[in-house]
Structure 1
Amino acid sequence: MEKYVIEGLNSLAGEIKVGGAKNAALPIIAASLLADSEVILTDIPRLRDVTNLCSIIRDMGAKVETNKNQITIDPRLVNKTEADHNLARKLRASYYILGVMLAKSGHARTTLPGGCNIGNRPIDLHLKGFRALGAEVNLDHGVVDVKANKLSGADIYLDYPSVGATINIMIAASRAEGQTIIENAAREPEIVDLANFLTVMGAKIKGVGTDIIKIEGVDEMHGVEHRIIPDRIEAGTYMIASAITAGDVFVRNVLTEHVKPLIAKMHEMGIVVEEDIAGVRVKATKDLKAVDVKTLPYPGFPTDMQSQMMALLTQADETSLIIETVWENRFMHVDELKRMGANIKIDGHSALIKPGRLSGAEVKATDLRAGAALILAGLAAEGQTEVRDIYHVERGYENIEKKLSQVGASINKVSE
């Protein structure tokens, strides 16, 4: 087991480069199996989730070669329609195999996926979409089995703009006969990136980035080369790292339109954010104003930035309010922040954060973004902070300790 050891109160300065987006890379890696020739993906982050998904498709017969942040996938020898259950349990994105193999072979089977325990995350909307396209769905003892002799286009209304369901239905519909319309579709940038990838492969998709997506099914899709978009959550985390330490950091490789909600809140707090075509520069002092935050589906404030924002708001001048509307278990980091002296009160889906001094403590990452929040809190805390269970963090951040060290943070990964 490893942990992060952080010495706080160092003001950060310099430049950090953001990597490719995990939540774009995973569905694109899965969708590569639809091609009839080699696919080359660049700016792929080297993360545990990526490694696990590559292991799944490799076990299914795909040839997968990795070279730093590039992955080459040859799907022509795929001979299995079932994902390895032990591997599938390790990451949420394993459910994309269902949409991909249903479109490719008319059959897919996998166990219910794993990932962070941040709330009830059923795949009902995914299965609703598959049924609408003509698939027979069976769910037995945690194993999902979907079959279809032929997929046919359909009009599908999502009860909630689910990112995963939008992606899975879009993938399956790209090879269905006729037109599929997804209403109340999710609008996240990662969905746009997947749609661009599928379109270059030969798919016909319109309306992506809006709440109505139209897909005209095609018979064949070919191999392409594609660069993954920058990770907006990683970018936001480093932006907060600068702000929480009263630093001056340029975060490179950021699409600023993807982090507008965070930029807006930072401006409200009195933080200077200078936007540039290459990224954003974040400058802050110790005088931070309190703000209220409500998480919402994109383009609202992202739930994946809520815990990091909470760490920052512990340093504000007055009481702040966070309302979490997306996941019911997204406050698990609160008890860990309290160990560091944070003054936070939870009431249902709301959290009141009062200002106070943070002190170093032994804490544990309860999930991916909670771990990031604890690292940020450690940067602002007096004394030493030890963050355990960092395998959660490594699911979503590539070399976070090295990147932060490059701008003056005292953070090391050590064996326990």
Structure 2
Amino acid sequence: MNTLLSDSAGPKTGARELSGETLAIRGGRPLTGRVEVKGAKNLATKAMVAALLGETTSTLRDVPDISDVQVVRSLLEVHGVRVDDGEEEGTLHLDPSGAVSAHFEEIDAHAGASRIPILFCGPLLHLLGQAFIPDLGGCRIGDRPIDFHLDALRKFGAIVEKLPSGIRLSAPEGLHGALIELPYPSVGATEQVLLTAVRSRGTTELRNAAIEPEIMDLIAVLQKMGAIISYEPNRVILIEGVDSLRGYDHRCIFDRNEAASWACAALATDGDIFVGGAKQQEMLTFLNVFRKAGGWFEIHEDGIQFRREGALKPVVVETDVHPGFMTDWQQPLIVALTQANGVSTVHETVYENRLGFTNALVQMGADIVVHPHGIASDDRRVPRRELEQAAVITGPTPLRGADVVVPDLRGGYSYLIAALAAEGESVVRNVGIIRRGYEKLFAKLDALGADFDVIG
């Protein structure tokens, strides 16, 4: 019987990560059973910010109970937005009618390690004429420069002042439409432009935009509010500014990152996991790689079932922006690939330093070599980037228990999978970080038959 602590994401203040939690995991048994995935972290938090743009109350459904959501809730409440829980689990009502400016110390205290405050800028500039960004945190997987965001906001007419405590923005003459071309299809910068352009005077043309499913769902939210947004070929989005927006009623798209994580857990532990709420269309690229690696899946109306089909096979993967293979999918996949028969290669082209988590896997017995400047080859399909890295995984290698410390959200979940697949006992520290993006983590592990205790 597992010793469980509460799976709540924490108090509504949500100011700091629950980083002190430690698990003792006894691995070597397949994970089997059913888990449910709720709304995507990468949509829910942005849709909550979008509620600031409306003149009436918004209702957001299927919101996951994770610490990132609690952080955004706290930040909205600091700015005078009333946030109430609905009768249906996972439903929030967001009333922006009392929105006010907040002191930077309050913003900083409630933001914690989150980077979400930067997405408040456009809505707050429209609503209050000013905004403040504290020093930004987030997962330590390489530089996350905010230059794309600030450059876009300047083009809308914002005045940007850098202060010792952060960045202050103002728009004494309001914001206007702009022609913006991103140097890279950044998800965050695309969200920034959308949240800012919908209330700016005139038309905004965004080139080289991100087109992830969560971006399309955010566009759907904004269109429900009264925004006029059209998507053209070749990553071009047109936004015609409007004078006012109303609240929305929206159900979040499912979290494809979490769905893929549980699929990889089934692969790594030779388990059988049904992921309720997962849908095929948003996971096409992942499903192809999953099948090539020796996985079996079956699509159902209410989810997808995942398990192995014989011995695991080596694959070559290149991460990319949508519709490519997501960078958030490669970490849990790498754990499974340590058990594949042969040599696999994972090219990480989206973020720098995102393969540092493999050091702990090597400590657990994996044969992984990281090439810090990537690997060139004639059959590469994704253009090489200066920041890219590559991991070469040779398997199969037995994994053994170890004492590891979670470095970031996705890498941390991968440590859990590795510990569950390994022989012997592992101690996984800093587990609270994982709950930034995984709702009811302990309860789901328990439901799948994981053998673990919370020891601190």
Bucket of the pairwise TM-score, normalised by the shorter protein? over 0.9
TM superposition shift of 1:374: 0.6
C-alpha distance in structure 2 between counterparts of 1:394 and 1:14, whole Å: 20
Structure 2: runs of 5 or more not aligned: 1-19, 373-388
**Deviations 1:258-295, CA, capped at 9 Å, x for gaps:** 21221111111121122233221112145100001111
Evaluate the alpha carbon distance shift between residue 258 and residue 191 of structure 1 in structure 2; reply closer, same or farther with a 3 A threshold: same
2:11 counterpart residue number: none
Q: Deviations over 1:204-263 (max 9, x none)?
A: 111189611110111111112111111000000011111112222221101222212211
State the alpha-carbon separation in 2 of the partners of residues 122 and 209 from structure 1: 27
Distance (whole Å) between structure 2 residues aligned to residue 56 and residue 137 of structure 1: 21
| 2:366 match | 342
SS state at 2:59 partner: strand
How many angstroms apart in 1 are the aligned matches of 2:313 and 2:212? 29
2:158 is matched with which residue: 124, 130, 135? 135
Indicate whether 1:43 and 2:62 are aligned. yes
How far did residue 29 of structure 1 move? 0.7
Tell me the equivalent position of 2:448: 407
Aligned to 1:306: 330
Q: In 2, distance between residues paired with 1:25 and 1:210? A: 26
Pairs within 5 Å for 1:26-65: 26-65=45-84
Question: What's the counterpart of residue 71 of structure 1?
Answer: 92
Structure 1 contact 6–410 (Cα < 8 Å) conserved = yes
Residue number among 250, 253, 263 corresponding to 1:239 in the alignment: 263
Task: Give yes or no for contact 2:318–2:348 (8 Å, CA) kept in 1.
Answer: yes
- The number of residues matched between the two structures is 415
- The answer for the alignment partner of 1:23 in structure 2 is 42
Change (3 A) 1:209 1:394: farther
Does the Cα contact within 8 Å between 2:263 and 2:307 map onto a contact in 1?
Answer: no
TM-score, with normalisation over the residues of structure 1?
Answer: 0.96
Corresponding residue for residue 274 of structure 2: 250
Matching residue within 156, 163, 184 for 1:160: 184
Residue 120 of structure 1 pairs with residue 160 of structure 2: no
DSSP 3-state at the match of 2:431 = coil
Q: Is the 8 A contact 2:39 2:252 kept in 1?
A: yes
The SS at the match of 2:299 is strand
Q: Could you say which residue in structure 2 is the equivalent of 1:385?
A: 426
Could you tell me how far 1:184 is from its partner in structure 2?
0.1
SS of 1:392's equivalent in the other structure is helix
TM-score in terms of structure 2 length: 0.88
Structure 1 counterpart of 2:393, from 309, 334, 353: 353
- The one-letter amino acid of 2:260's match is G
Whether 1:5 aligns to 2:24 is: yes
- Secondary structure of the equivalent of 1:218? coil
Kept in 2: contact 1:187–1:208 (CA 8 A): no
Answer with 229-238 or 239-248: which moved more.
239-248
Q: Aligned partners of 2:165, 2:189: CA distance in 1, in Å?
A: 18
Tell me, yes or no, if the aligned pair for 1:61 and 1:75 is still in contact at 8 Å: yes
Corresponding residue for residue 6 of structure 2: none
Per-residue CA distance 1:99-147 (angstroms, 9 max, x = gap): 2212323321121321111111111111111111111122233512222
Q: Which amino acid aligns with 2:265?
A: A
CA distance in 1, matches of 2:278, 2:309: 22
Structure 1 segments unaligned to the other structure (5+ residues): none
Distance 1:51 1:415 in 2: 24
Residue 152 of structure 1: how far off its partner (Å): 1.2
Q: Which amino acid aligns with 1:132?
A: K
SS for the counterpart of 2:432 is: coil
The one-character-per-residue Cα deviations of 1:176-198 (angstroms, maximum 9, x if unpaired) are 11110100000111111111111
Alignment of 1:259-274 (within 5 A): 259-274=283-298
Cα 1:98–1:180, aligned 2, differ >3 Å: closer, same or farther?
A: same
Q: C-alpha distance in 2, partners of 1:173/1:23?
A: 20
Q: SS of 2:217's equivalent?
A: helix
Instruction: Measure, in 2, the Cα distance between the counterparts of 1:209 and 1:24.
Output: 23
**1:375 CA displacement:** 0.8
The one-letter code of the counterpart of 2:268 is I
Tell me how far apart the structure 1 counterparts of residues 439 and 23 of structure 2 sit (CA, whole Å): 14
- Could you tell me which residue of structure 2 aligns to residue 319 of structure 1? 343
SS in 1 for 2:342: coil
**Distance in 2 between residues matched to 1:373 and 1:231, nearest whole Å:** 17
Contact 1:364 1:388 in 2 (8 A): yes
Which residue of 116, 119, 143 maps to 1:96? Answer: 119
Q: CA deviation at 1:96?
A: 0.8
**Correspondence 1:130-279 to 2 at 5 A:** 130-141=153-164, 143-148=166-171, 149-207=173-231, 211-279=235-303
| Percent of aligned pairs with the same amino acid | 37
Q: Is this contact kept in 1: 2:26–2:424, CA < 8 A?
A: yes
The verdict on how the C-alpha distance between 1:117 and 1:394 changes in structure 2, with shifts beyond 3 A counting, is same
> Is the contact made by 1:21 and 1:228 (CA closer than 8 Å) also made in structure 2?
yes
Question: Which of 128, 133, 144 lines up with 1:105 in the alignment?
Answer: 128
